[in-house]
Amino acid sequence: MKLVYKLGIGVLIVGGIYASIQAVQNPPTDDILEKKLVNDYNVYALPLPQEIDFCGEPVPLNNPDIRERLDRELLVNTYWQSNGLLLIKRANKYFPIIEPLLKKYGLPDDFKYLVVAESGLENNRSPAGAAGFWHFLKSTGKEYGLEINSYVDERYNLELATKVAAKYLKNSKNKFGSWTLAAAAYNAGNGGIQKQIDRQGVNTYYDLLLNQETSRYVFRILAFKEILSNPQKYGFNYREKDLYEPIPIHTVKVDTPVTDFAKFAQRYGINYKILKLHNPWLRDTFLKNASGKAYFIQIPKQGYYNAGQ
């Protein structure tokens, strides 16, 4: 589905339904423009999937409350077209990295959509201070063994953060008995979910009354699963060359101090910026490493970054 405006100087695809407005020397009157909008511009309700599951656990779509909550997230994320296209492009780049990590650490593949919901597939930081693809708080990251200091922040190391996320989520699954509740607990905390289970006397996510953020959380994950699995169904059109691609890398073991990462990067044919793009967990221009800990630094294959070399 696309909305196409012909403006006399080209065609702009905005997203939505096919329509056109031909630019003329004299702009249309308000009455004419209103009729054109009524006749030419339409926004459609979305047909819900007949069935959907999270990690093999069925979503009870026969429940009208559940249908409405899924419908909300599908509408919000389908008609936010720019963000949807960005996520589709990033998924092509990062899902091939995330999927084998999920398998390696024993998580169902659907948890890649939790990463989408958390960080939008970016190594970013939330207003609350949660960081990395998996959005760990500093306290939680340290509790689970991640190194976080002025020089290194392993919340930004995708493999190590996935390993910790897997440990956290598997603990939650063992506690609550379902991956769906484990996902909810990733947002609200194990204690927060347990408190509501005890208060309300029910033990499924779909029966719990939760705060707004957590009550929407799993449905956002489900919406991303549905849209990213069926982008054309939801009106997202693109060519293969439009998608972002994974960059081949190799790793370099470092178990000594590094006095200058800019010079370190140059030894491998890249600059400091490219080094940091692939290793955002390096937080300074040098590394003390008095303990001799082994770090594994990603170096992109030569030829993928040429500007400034």
| pLDDT level of residue 305 (50, 70, 90 thresholds) | confident
pTM, two decimal places: 0.87
The answer, yes or no, to whether residue 308 has pLDDT greater than 60, is no
Q: Into which CATH architecture does domain 53-241 fall? A: Orthogonal Bundle (1.10)
Which residues are within 8 A (CB) of 271 and not within 5 positions of it... i.e. 6 or more apart?
262, 265, 305, 308, 309
Radius of gyration of the chain (CA): 23
Return all residues near 40 (Cβ < 8 A) that are at least 6 apart.
Answer: 19, 20, 21
The residue ranges of every structural domain in the chain are 4-40, 53-241, 247-300
- pLDDT, one tens digit per residue, over 135-186 is 999 999 999 999 999 999 999 999 999 999 999 999 999 999 999 999 999 9
* CA distances in angstroms from 224 to 110, 116, 211, 213, listed in the order given: 10, 7, 21, 16
What does the H/E/C string look like for 242-300?
A: HCCCCCCEEEEEECCCECCHHHHHHHCCCCHHHHHHHCCCECCCCECCCCCCCEEEEEE
pLDDT of residue 251: 97
- Own/partner contacts of 274-279, CB < 8 Å, gap of 24 or more, are 274/300, 274/305, 275/299, 278/247, 278/249
Three-state DSSP class for residue 59: coil
pLDDT value for 25: 58
Cβ atoms 6, 20 nearer than 8 A: yes
CB-CB neighbours of 127 under 10 Å? 5
